[in-house]
A and B are shown apart, each in its own frame.
Chain A
């Protein structure tokens, strides 16, 4: 692993960020500071609870403050950046072969740290006595189909105490100091390639392997605290709260997807929740400290569920007729749960009862784009590069940025600035500020019936169509004449009642 100081300016900014980050724990007291700070965005969807919401931030509308292109990397240069996290005044995201830090104020690159080729999944920021750490996963096992397997020359800590005779998989948890970009401990060997990103709760980091192994790593020592084999596909982020680690396990042909709670200290299973209806997949989970929220999708139905964090029992289930991206956990803010489906249709549900409060249809693809709540607005980024801001109380759209063809993958509020990760042609970082000159609107969802205008449009269309049909009929009918001129009915002009026969009259005579 090697650090790349880019410019003297970026180095200064990085050091400034590091200085702030290093002094923060000292101010908070000895030991490991709590990594999750609601007002900051230190992990995927904010913090270990994955609620995807911050109480304050820039209000819509927005204008672009800066843009820093980062070319996609990895095999075929197909892999863009992960969701961003905020470490002081640096925004950090993971690329296929690097961890990139961007100064939030200027948009200049603060650092770039090499990593083994691996899935670009969100890192996490941990504040320890040793400083502020950027914790991330690396390694792709046998690699993506076109990749050459990589080897890691650095010494590692084996996660398997039993001594597996097979060579270890190229998959590790690594960490570096934000200020120096130097590793704080050797990469920790994981049992399988990880796509979950990193979840930090207290002084522990939790990661999941593709095969269902959850590994807890002591952030101070860089050693494995425990591992738990759950033997099911695990591809979505973990959540942590109240001394529990919450894991979404996907189903296969024979098993249901489940949500499992593990004890954060020991890794022991506390409870598991299976859906009532047959399901195929389950989304990443989020929690408000009382309930766990997730979306179960099956062939017959899709349901948003709220599960008691204490015992895994079902509190409520709300059926939705929609398809969802499983990487995006439900958002939680102001006693509401927000879910956005693949066609950009957001529903707000009462967090206590599951009752639908409002909905808004963006009518844009929301896939691999994760919404976020900033202050009193739900921000919905789309695959086409749109960004909509919906008032979370009224459900009305207040601002919308037009599409530009490149996706907005994820958002991270950082003070009065909003950091976004872009994909495709505009791959890289972008930042937005509040634009006081932006024109705000109050647009209700197209799924809300406006009876008068709907009936008016219908009446206009009916009148137009009837008029055209009347003219066509008047013009064409005389030219064509009757369909069957020699038909007796046509000659008499009356109904040919004889053609209507009682079906039973034609029955063959009984033998």
Chain B
């Protein structure tokens, strides 16, 4: 290890220790062991939160995207490339489907499912969605890493790629979880009746955004592994008074409203979208990116206040003397 790296490690350890100290101070007793879905069912963290207000967060998210040309250009380029790729695969529209191309999972995952089904049918689409999910994971990892860099007042550069690579497993896990959530919702919906089907679908989307949206930010900023990132995302989402559920619900409802509103340009079959259709799709995707920046800003604002999870369950000592 070089001296430079030693210094980095030393500073990093100091900061982690500092965070740990501030977080562990109120809990004097020994932490309980971690169990299945511990993060979701654990009691909420009491007390006030330093999570920024929703309006403040949204404004910060929008400014982050608007003031960073590389983010704006990247988002537009990604949407355009995805559209051209879909055309190459035989997609015939409607173009308006692409308003959720950069949406947060699982809203964006529903785009993957729809696109893969439209291209390959239900049977082929079932397998094709895995490819689309992988692509979404790469794109989201890249964008989240860039956003975190920007929010940390660092221009995206070579470190962005490092953050991207470390975020990728988490974004992949979230996208797969999104597929699972949507599948579960589509299976449960018909069982409970048509009146509940829509409610369950919406609930799955809101729940997914609410609980999982912080995880890529955590992975990008703190380099945590998948279980840590997911658990910490859930704990951050459930911080009392944070308004995260409200924000998730607003986001999901708005996303679906834009998707299903009738009569907008590009909502019919066709592969030659008009300028108006392009503007709608590009602006909507920039808003999705702004939402991603909003989520990142909110997490980074409270990162020090998010409690650590209970320690891992230790494996039972092996019986000695076994042959």
Q: A447-B271, A454-B271, A454-B273 are in contact. Are A465 and B67 (CB under 8 A)?
A: no
> Does B222 lie within 8 Å of A446, measured CB to CB?
no
Cβ of A321 within 8 Å of any chain B Cβ, yes or no, is: yes
Cβ of B138 within 8 Å of any chain A Cβ, yes or no, is: no
Q: Which of A21-29, A387-395, A478-486 makes up part of the contact surface?
A: A478-486
Closest CB-CB distance, A203 to chain B, in whole Å?
45
- B-binding residues in A (CB < 8 A): 277, 299-302, 319, 321, 343, 345, 361, 363, 446-450, 453-454, 457-458, 460-462, 464-466, 469-470, 472-474, 476-477, 480, 482-484, 487, 489-490, 493-503, 505-506, 508, 511
Q: What are the nearest 3 A-B pairs in CB distance? A: A446-B270, A461-B278, A477-B67
What are the residues of chain A within 8 A of B223 when measuring CB–CB?
A: 499-503, 506
Which of A345, A461, A506 is in CB contact (< 8 Å) with B279?
Answer: A461
Which of B69, B224, B311, B312 is in CB contact (< 8 Å) with A473?
Answer: B69
What are the residues of chain A within 8 A of B282 when measuring CB–CB?
A: 461-462, 465
Closest CB-CB distance, B232 to chain A, in whole Å?
12
Q: A472-B66, A476-B67, A490-B152 are in contact. Are A462 and B278 (CB under 8 A)?
A: yes
CB-CB nearest in chain A for B274: A457
In angstroms, Cα B96 to Cα A273, docked, is 40
Cβ of B283 within 8 Å of any chain A Cβ, yes or no, is: yes
> Does A446 lie within 8 Å of B152, measured CB to CB?
no
In angstroms, Cα B80 to Cα A205, docked, is 58
Cβ of B63 within 8 Å of any chain A Cβ, yes or no, is: yes
Cβ of B286 within 8 Å of any chain A Cβ, yes or no, is: yes
Q: A361-B268, A484-B151 are in contact. Are A457 and B159 (CB under 8 A)?
A: no
Closest CB-CB distance, B186 to chain A, in whole Å?
12
Closest CB-CB distance, A112 to chain B, in whole Å?
40
> Does B76 lie within 8 Å of A503, measured CB to CB?
no
Q: A495-B149, A498-B12, A499-B152 are in contact. Are A449 and B272 (CB under 8 A)?
A: yes
Closest CB-CB distance, A256 to chain B, in whole Å?
16
Q: A447-B270, A476-B66, A503-B223 are in contact. Are A466 and B153 (CB under 8 A)?
A: no
What are the residues of chain A within 8 A of B221 when measuring CB–CB?
A: 499
Q: Which of B115-123, B193-201, B204-212, B237-245 makes up part of the contact surface?
A: B115-123
19 examples of A-B residue contacts, CB within 8 angstroms: A299-B122, A300-B122, A300-B123, A301-B122, A343-B269, A361-B92, A457-B275, A458-B80, A458-B273, A465-B282, A480-B59, A483-B297, A487-B152, A490-B153, A497-B159, A499-B223, A500-B162, A501-B12, A508-B311
> Does B224 lie within 8 Å of A503, measured CB to CB?
yes
In angstroms, Cα B12 to Cα A14, docked, is 98
- The majority secondary structure among interface residues of chain B is helix
Cβ of B73 within 8 Å of any chain A Cβ, yes or no, is: yes
CB-CB nearest in chain B for A475: B66
CB-CB nearest in chain B for A507: B225
Cβ of B314 within 8 Å of any chain A Cβ, yes or no, is: yes
Q: A469-B66, A501-B12 are in contact. Are A462 and B80 (CB under 8 A)?
A: yes
In angstroms, Cα B62 to Cα A449, docked, is 34
CB-CB nearest in chain A for B15: A498
What are the residues of chain A within 8 A of B283 when measuring CB–CB?
A: 465
Cβ of B264 within 8 Å of any chain A Cβ, yes or no, is: no
> Does A480 lie within 8 Å of B63, measured CB to CB?
yes
> Does B271 lie within 8 Å of A496, measured CB to CB?
no
Closest CB-CB distance, B187 to chain A, in whole Å?
13
In angstroms, Cα B72 to Cα A465, docked, is 9
> Does A469 lie within 8 Å of B271, measured CB to CB?
no
In angstroms, Cα B278 to Cα A460, docked, is 9
In angstroms, Cα B80 to Cα A460, docked, is 13
Which of A300, A457, A499, A505 is in CB contact (< 8 Å) with B9?
Answer: A505
> Does A498 lie within 8 Å of B269, measured CB to CB?
no
What are the residues of chain B within 8 A of A476 when measuring CB–CB?
A: 62-63, 66-67
> Does A506 lie within 8 Å of B152, measured CB to CB?
no
Cβ of B300 within 8 Å of any chain A Cβ, yes or no, is: yes
Closest CB-CB distance, A20 to chain B, in whole Å?
45
> Does B8 lie within 8 Å of A454, measured CB to CB?
no
Which of A447, A480, A489 is in CB contact (< 8 Å) with B60?
Answer: A480
CB-CB nearest in chain B for A511: B314
In angstroms, Cα B89 to Cα A449, docked, is 13
Closest CB-CB distance, A23 to chain B, in whole Å?
50
Closest CB-CB distance, A204 to chain B, in whole Å?
40
What are the residues of chain B within 8 A of A449 when measuring CB–CB?
A: 87, 271-272
> Does A493 lie within 8 Å of B153, measured CB to CB?
yes
What are the residues of chain A within 8 A of B92 when measuring CB–CB?
A: 345, 361, 447
> Does A448 lie within 8 Å of B271, measured CB to CB?
yes
> Does B278 lie within 8 Å of A473, measured CB to CB?
no
In angstroms, Cα B93 to Cα A33, docked, is 50
What are the residues of chain A within 8 A of B47 when measuring CB–CB?
A: none
> Does A473 lie within 8 Å of B68, measured CB to CB?
yes
Q: A466-B72, A484-B152 are in contact. Are A457 and B122 (CB under 8 A)?
A: no
